Amino acid sequence: MTAARSLFHKIWDRHAVAPSQLGDDTLIYVDRCLVHEESNLAFEGLRLQRSPLRRPESVTAFVDHYAPTLNRDAGIAAIPDPEVRDMLQQIIANAKEQKLRLFGIDHAQQGIMHVVAPEMGLILPGIIVVGSDSHTCTSGAFGAVAFGVGQSELKQVFATQTIWRRAPLTMRVRVDGALPAGTFAKDLILSIISTIGANGANAYAVEFVGTGVASLSMAERMTVCNMSVEMGAHSAIIAPDDTTFEYLTHCQLAPHGKLFERAVEHWRDLRTDDRVVFDREVDIAARNVAPMVTWGTSLDDVMPVSGCVPDPMHVDNIERRARMIKVLAYMDLDPGVALTDIPIDIVFIGSCTNSRIEALRAAAAILKDRRAIVPAIVSPGSRSVKRQAKAEGLDQIFLNAGFEWRDSGCSMCVGSNGDIVKAGQRCASNSPRNFEGRQGVGARTHVMNPQMAALAAIMGHIADVRTSSLN
């Protein structure tokens, strides 16, 4: 009898080139490689060792982290920061030298790599994808094995189309039932992180299964897989199904016609065998998921919006208590304060987690015919998303509500391009991270879903979208 295997291992084993003679690592073949402006060091390393790029057609370059979201038409020369200008010019030069597909700042489909690559059809079921960014795991939503790599590993992929990696442990997260009204995929993954911890999936390849996962759209699946790295996961994966195949039929670079039909026949076999035993199992009841909000500087520091800031003195673990005291000082929060009493200074809707058209629609539904009372910006995940939003009139809803309607890029999620939260300000953010200083030195980030962020812009404080008087 053939041994039962997980979806992850089926893909991993098909891409195994050779085992290591020195340890447990395996040489893995890489199908797709995604790079951005911070990948220039790997290109320089390739150049110094005088190695050719083995498969240029498998590498796609993006300008996203440092892409200006204002005055885009002025071009790179108008960017005031010389280091940023140089990084953008370098990635463009590297892409040209290596004959790579490049989504530069003036490309019609430019945007965040984890948004553009899937919407263009570069991500397909059954492939292995690596990227110069930890959120490469987003692509696992398509039934691909996808993970981020460092610059030295990236250089190896450039030169050999392979990478040495040790197969991770496996974890299955089963989500059954439907999400309640007012909750989104962002709340689901935050709930999972609150259940197992920010390091609970460390060194695991996580597969999401269950009726609650099957009912998610591709955008929602990408949100869940995107933030799996925030619980330490090596990668995340969801078996492809009719929802996946329907999405791919609209992607420009995906197979078409008879080739697509043949591919789907193969992709339907990409699933975990019934008898597989995972190293860890986690069960989540979707009905118990509530709108979630972070109160601290780790995604461990998250709870339903109906909660209150926790008291460190009620925590027995001495190290955890000391950390909480430090975090509350940084966040300028007192124990016992209701999350809905926390004021907000600025709102950000965007990032690789929540900048697709579905997220913009959800936020716009809250903002329609209403006005923000704090500064707020929205940065669509790609220029394609931006055009679709404009076609649907969403841009005008945001503008009428007082939001800044920016161009596409990572923007205020990480602040590399100058879009930052000022020291001491609180930001209601759709970004995937709330680390200290993530959005700017001294910035205080409260991660939440798109509707909650939009509601915070209107109310001027964190509010529960389920019970707000606006409903």
Query: What single string gives the DSSP state of each residue in 329-396?
Result: HHHT--TT-BGGG-B-SEEEE-TTTS-SHHHHHHHHHHHTT---SS-EEE--SBHHHHHHHHHTTHHH
Q: Are residues 368 and 336 in the same domain?
A: yes
The residue behind tokens 């790079």 is 35
Structure confidence at residue 24 (pLDDT): 84
**Structural domain includes residue 467:** no
Output the CA–CA distances (angstroms, integers) from residue 391 to 115, 355, 385, 395, 436, in the order listed.
19, 16, 10, 9, 37
239 closest CA partner among 261, 263, 214 = 214
**Structural domain includes residue 469:** no
Structure confidence at residue 282 (pLDDT): 98
pLDDT at 1 over 70: no
Q: Are residues 348 and 450 in the same domain?
A: yes
Under 8 Å between Cβ of 239 and 271:
yes
Taking the C-alpha atoms of residue 141 and residue 1, their distance in angstroms, rounded to an integer, is 30
Q: Are residues 242 and 160 in the same domain?
A: no
Q: Are residues 195 and 259 in the same domain?
A: yes
Residue 176 is inside which H or E element, if any? strand 169-176
Structure confidence at residue 3 (pLDDT): 85
Taking the C-alpha atoms of residue 257 and residue 313, their distance in angstroms, rounded to an integer, is 63
Q: CATH number, domain at 186?
A: 3.40.1060.10
Read off the tokens for 382. Answer: 């790609």
Q: CATH number, domain at 123?
A: 3.30.499.10
30 closest CA partner among 176, 190, 153 = 153
Mean pLDDT of the chain: 96
- Domain count for the chain: 3
Domain boundary among 273, 288, 303: 288
Q: What is the pLDDT of residues 186-233, one digit of tens each?
A: 999 999 999 999 999 999 999 999 999 999 999 999 999 999 999 999
Structure confidence at residue 468 (pLDDT): 80
**Structural domain includes residue 156:** yes
Per-residue confidence at 21, pLDDT binned at 50, 70, 90? Answer: low
Output the CA–CA distances (angstroms, integers) from residue 32 to 100, 166, 229, in the order listed.
12, 19, 19
Q: Are residues 141 and 174 in the same domain?
A: no
Q: Are residues 131 and 25 in the same domain?
A: yes
**Domain that includes residue 184, residue range:** 169-288
pLDDT at 469 over 80: no
Structure confidence at residue 19 (pLDDT): 78
User: Angle of helix 357-367 relative to helix 450-459, nearest 10 degrees?
Assistant: 30
**Structural domain includes residue 465:** no
Q: What is the pLDDT of residues 246-299, one digit of tens each?
A: 999 999 999 999 999 999 999 999 999 999 999 999 999 999 999 999 999 999
Q: Are residues 429 and 301 in the same domain?
A: yes
How much is the average pLDDT of 395-412? 98
Domain boundary among 254, 288, 322: 288
Q: Are residues 134 and 189 in the same domain?
A: no
Q: Are residues 87 and 35 in the same domain?
A: yes
**Structural domain includes residue 464:** no
pLDDT at 471 over 60: no
Q: Are residues 313 and 414 in the same domain?
A: yes
**Structural domain includes residue 470:** no
pLDDT above 70 coverage of the chain, percent: 98
Domain boundary among 228, 253, 288: 288
